Structure 1
């Protein structure tokens, strides 16, 4: 059984690898937090050069909406792979996935609602 920190670190590693392989670029910073049956993942610095260019050259609402639509579609297509990865790490299946990205800050948030609270062991105290 993994500790909470080990689960969160494994999620960061898995999501970072996914972003790099699937989106073509990994995040500059990533953090994951398991809060009961919610898994919250925050990625910073995820926009590619092409996405940044798209957002800055089109009218603000059009560029933003287009980027959000594309990112959402990509996440939905990859959802089975993400669900399998998360279940393998936390030991329980996900029920839902929520996603949003900021075109201003380049920050992305992914939230998984899990079927139950994952079991984890206490970390050894030093």
Structure 2
């Protein structure tokens, strides 16, 4: 049986993140891409804000509210993300970092893992 390529693992992780966003946060991104780099999984999601969040983000207070609400929702989901990493990539999560741009509607997720993915996937 042929083993999966790095790109296939990245694509599988991207699909899982899209499903997670839809199931857990209620809406999936318009675009998504995952990159494995050293001991990091980097995910870029575009088009994640709802029309209501975009309207709120027109003011400073609204931007703060949107970012904080999204941050708290995401932090409560950490166990689910750790399961995704373990099930798909086969390693553990050391740390999780994320930020949302209320200007572009983009979210960046960086997961630091306990394995060098460049060595694992070549």
So what's the TM-score if we normalise by structure 1?
0.89
SS in 1 for 2:27: coil
SS in 2 for 1:104: coil
The superposition leaves residues 26-80 of structure 1 with CA deviations (integer Å, 9 ceiling, x where unpaired) of: 1110000000111000000000122112212xx3x21111111111100110110
| Residue 98 (structure 1) aligns with | 97
| Runs of 4+ deviating beyond 2 Å | none
> What is the aligned residue count?
118
Whether 2:18 is the aligned partner of 1:16: answer yes
5+ residue gaps, structure 1, are none
Over aligned residues, Cα RMSD in angstroms?
A: 1.2
- In structure 2, the partner of 1:41 is 43
1:2 Cα deviation (Å)?
2.7
- Supply the distance in 2 between the matched residues of 1:11 and 1:42 (Cα, whole angstroms): 12
DSSP-derived class of the 1:47 partner: coil
Q: How far apart, in 1, do the equivalents of 2:91 and 2:66 lie?
A: 31
Instruction: Please give the alpha-carbon distance, in whole angstroms, between the structure 2 residues aligned to 1:86 and 1:9.
Output: 13
